[in-house]
Chains A and B, each alone.
Chain A
């Protein structure tokens, strides 16, 4: 999966869960500060990401993923070779 594909998939998830248009979900955006997504919505996004990408994002790692790029990197790193 390319970073572009992950970003597109993540955009769809964020739009579905938080109602933020997918086009707004660009790499430099902060979930909390720019997209107005709170910690509970982040959990929902992590769960949806697991369903979509097959990558589990545990709560203790989730708190360190503050930007869209952070999540894209996490998913990319954990799907390497698959």
Chain B
């Protein structure tokens, strides 16, 4: 049997982000629910979030973010041979989002699949994309996280609807020139805690046991991030940024504190984006890159964690 020769490593070529136009503020929510701007800011650190229009889909948002990343990479659609969409909120499981999104972006006949690791999905997708590039089964991969969480949230449940939001983020992955730009993934799951975040069936909404999830996220997750740095041979103090899943600002800050990462290097995109599940990391990366906050060639630590419960972390190099 023959196998392709592959390349020593993969790297990120570009990021892209997309948010729906509609801004929903805490005051907007307080008008319909027993909550307040002050309560929401204090509990989850969100001041506003974006919510997709009624007919706007996970695929629509993925096309927007993926198109931007593709444009930023300088590649043409013909150069992409694998499309992975990390999502847990499509309206229907068939057809998958990735094939539809690829077609709409003019990418002809790529490998295409959806990946559900919920809020850890983007890091899982980056790991599998990197592996595909390294082993030679793909040369360029479009990785997208896209979520319409608003469709799966009970808008009368003030413990969840204040948190979740919609959006998409993407990255184009290609072969590294000399040194690898995507470090080893450290991933895993805790299926014994599956019921802590779940949508029970097709007629149900997302429910979570907030306290239990908070306890897990603030105690069990930071060692995964530290291990990803260790495996990549990158010191935590050398990171230019830490981009964890934007679950809740208090979780983000607690994890950063435990890792010893100064607050100014920690992504806080949740403040204006809400929790967009698998889209939160690439959306934050795209915005930070756009603002010039990520120095080219510097290391950034990604950390996804959420329903499953699933988690994954890796260090990447800024394109």
Chain A: residues with CB nearer than 8 A to chain B? 38-40, 43-44, 46-47, 59, 62
Contacts and interface: CB of A to CB of B under 8 A. Distances in A.
Is the contact region of chain B dominated by helix, strand, or loop, or is it mixed? helix
B218 A39 contact: no
Contact of A44 (B43, B212, B254): B254
Interface centre among B42, B210, B214, B219 (most CB of A within 10 A): B214
A40 B219 contact: no
B212 A40 contact: no
Say which size band chain B's interface belongs to. 10 to 19
A37 B148 CA distance: 33
Contacts of A47: 215, 218-219
A40 B219 CA distance: 13
Nearest to A40: B214
B55 interface: no
B265 interface: no
A43 B215 contact: yes
Contact of A59 (B215, B218, B254): B215
B218 A43 contact: yes
A82 B215 CA distance: 26
A59 B42 contact: no
Nearest to A36: B42
23 contacts: A38-B42, A38-B43, A39-B210, A39-B211, A40-B43, A40-B210, A40-B211, A40-B214, A40-B250, A43-B211, A43-B214, A43-B215, A43-B218, A44-B218, A44-B254, A46-B215, A47-B215, A47-B218, A47-B219, A59-B211, A59-B212, A59-B215, A62-B211
